[in-house]
Amino acid sequence: MTDPAPFWKTKTLSQMTREEWESLCDGCGRCCLHKLRFEDTGDLAYTNVACRLLNLTTTQCSDYANRRSKVPNCVNLTPETLAEIDWLPPSCAYRRLEEGKDLAWWHPLVSGDPGTVHTSGVSVSGRAVDERRAGPLEHHIVDWPGKLPKAKQPATQKSPRRPRLAVLKALQKETPE
């Protein structure tokens, strides 16, 4: 008997449950970095300055449930708002799936390990600066958040592990037929 295909290969983003949608975030923290939009050209510049709620070690939001009340311009990413956002990094699972690509090997749903986003070098851990200590954002313009990471897949993981079946089965049980 073959295992069913993972939900991200069988559903569109708008068909996913809230739990499935939330599990697509690999926790890299790149979307939590401040961006600058130049008024004269409309060009976008990424910075290495992180939102004050981002834990710079774990790259998790320290108050995810209340983030929008504490940071009013924090984006509530949905399938509908995804089409309007032009600044998600090319490594972002939401962007990758929207563009018809698969999840990357470091994604926890593929690797089975939430740590691969860090060990692969994809996350902002060790590269971001807290906004309370940064000073002017213009002094922190960098290009790496807007580029596909050159993550090195460890030799022991040349072929991605199967997604954690317990997680996938739990998500599939929540999805009505």
82-111 pLDDT tens trace = 989 999 999 999 999 999 999 999 999 999
**Ranges of H-type helices in 75-164:** 79-82, 93-98, 108-111, 116-119, 131-134
Percent of the chain with pLDDT over 90: 77
Token output for 161: 């592990």
Whether 126 is in a domain gets the answer yes
- In this structure, is residue 2 part of a structural domain? no
| Number of domains composing the chain | 1
Choose among 25, 79, 78: nearest CA to 54: 25
**Residue 108 in domain:** yes
Average pLDDT, the chain: 87
The string of pLDDT tens digits covering residues 110-164 is 999 999 999 999 999 999 999 999 999 999 999 999 998 886 776 654 444 444 4
On whether residue 35 sits in a domain, the answer given is: yes
- List the domain range (segments joined by +) for residue 16: 7-174
Residue 158 is predicted with a pLDDT of 47
Query: Residue 1 falls within a domain, yes or no?
Result: no
The torsion angle over the Cα atoms of residues 97, 103, 106 and 112, rounded to 10 degrees, is 120
